[in-house]
Amino acid sequence: MNVNQLKYFIEFVRTRNFSKAAERLRISQPALSLQIQKLEEEFEYQLINRTKKPLGLTPEGELFYEKALKIVQQIEDLSNLSLEIDENHKGKLTVGIIPTLSPYLVPLFVDEMKKKYPMLFLDIVELNTEEIVSQLTYNELDIGILSTPLKAKNIGFVPLFQERFYLYVSEKHDMYKIEKVELDKLPLDELWYLREGNCFQNQVNSICQIPELDNTNLSFRYVSYSIESLRRIVENQGGMTFIPELATVNVPTENEDMIKTFEDPAPLREISAAYLKTTGLKKTAGLLLDVIVANIPSRMRLNDKAKPIDTKIRL
């Protein structure tokens, strides 16, 4: 048995397809099949249930996968040990951030990170929560920044700050004249929506007790992937939408009156860093988190008494 064989098996489990796994690994399909076969022969039990479609794992294969994944994670982490020890803080830090946060958070910390740690290359990518968890699991990310609470196997979380939810209301709407909004009086049929299944939208659904899109009798709904696009819709077409606190910073002065606060207790979301428990929080990731927290408005610092809205994501 060697480490490459373990990596081949892990990639197969990830794709559940020999052709796709071989393509990702840049080897031939017969070579991949042969290496996994050798693992099965060495351990004298079947890892893959080849009678299933799509292919599945045997109970022994499931157990083998969990242990193999931990071994590969630790070996890859060991290869980066010199970067963790180096006091010059150089190398590469790969960060995944959810799309409802990234456009507003990154500008707050990226300049200071470049000034303080010029030899540390930040590779930042927008990913949804499931993608962040998956890529952390397979060591494709060093750290993720997402909304919590959520549950994910072998993933640890470090709470960073809290964001209130605000309502963004068109000047054409009657609620534009209201200073503070009562949640139970929101006209749900006039809300513009993010894509269903997004953690931000899951939280909005919880706040308003909004039914699933497929179960609603509302006559019209616009579904978007972007908070900014929903803002533009409200500005040009009317209606209203939810926006997170950091998004209010980018609202032009002439549109600030469109931002409405909620009656207390105002709903909020918790933003946390996610990391792989097997390898722990990397030193360079800790440097990033310190800079993020230092640049967040003081009003958004963690408050133990405030209860964040659940993301309803279980992975």
Given a cut of 90, is residue 32 above it in pLDDT?
A: no
- Report the candidate in 166, 165, 200, 160 with the shortest Cα–Cα distance to residue 301: 160
pLDDT given for residue 95 in this prediction: 94
Q: Work out the burial of residue 123: count CB atoms within 10 Å of its CB; fewer than 13 is exposed, 13-18 middle, 19 or more buried.
A: exposed
What is the location of CATH 3.40.190.10 in the chain?
81-162+269-300, 163-262
CATH number 3.40.190.10 given to 81-162+269-300: yes
Please state, for a pLDDT cut of 90, what percent of the chain lies above it: 19
Given a cut of 90, is residue 197 above it in pLDDT?
A: no
Model pLDDT for residues 35-72, shown as the tens digit of each residue: 888 888 888 888 888 887 778 888 888 888 888 888 88
CATH number 3.10.50.40 given to 163-262: no
Query: 182-191 as b/e, with b when 16 or more CB fall inside 10 Å?
Result: eeeebeeebb
Reduced to 3 states (helix: H, G, I; strand: E, B; else coil), residue 314 is strand
pLDDT given for residue 245 in this prediction: 92
Say how far apart CA 80 and CA 94 lie, in whole Å.
13
N-terminal to C-terminal alpha carbon distance within the chain: 30
Q: What is the mean pLDDT of the chain?
A: 82
Give long-range contacts, CB 8 A cutoff, 24+ apart: 224-231.
Answer: 224/192, 224/193, 224/194, 224/195, 225/99, 225/194, 225/195, 225/198, 226/99, 226/194, 227/100, 227/194, 227/200, 228/103, 230/168, 230/192, 230/193, 230/194, 231/168
**Which fold is adopted by the domain 3-75?**
Arc Repressor Mutant, subunit A (1.10.10)
Residue 308, CA distances (Å) to 29, 149, 201, 312 in order: 47, 8, 14, 12
138 pLDDT band, cuts 50/70/90, is: confident
pLDDT given for residue 195 in this prediction: 59
Say how far apart CA 257 and CA 86 lie, in whole Å.
49
216 pLDDT band, cuts 50/70/90, is: very low
pLDDT given for residue 198 in this prediction: 57
Say how far apart CA 79 and CA 77 lie, in whole Å.
5
Which of 24-33, 95-104, 174-183: highest mean pLDDT?
95-104
290 pLDDT band, cuts 50/70/90, is: very high
Given a cut of 60, is residue 213 above it in pLDDT?
A: no
Residue 54, CA distances (Å) to 50, 60, 135 in order: 9, 18, 22
Given a cut of 70, is residue 201 above it in pLDDT?
A: no
pLDDT given for residue 214 in this prediction: 44
Say how far apart CA 198 and CA 108 lie, in whole Å.
23
Tell me the residue type at 147.
Answer: S
pLDDT given for residue 210 in this prediction: 52
What is the location of CATH 1.10.10.10 in the chain?
3-75
pLDDT given for residue 182 in this prediction: 84
Please state, for a pLDDT cut of 70, what percent of the chain lies above it: 86
Beta carbons within 10 angstroms of residue 171's beta carbon: 12
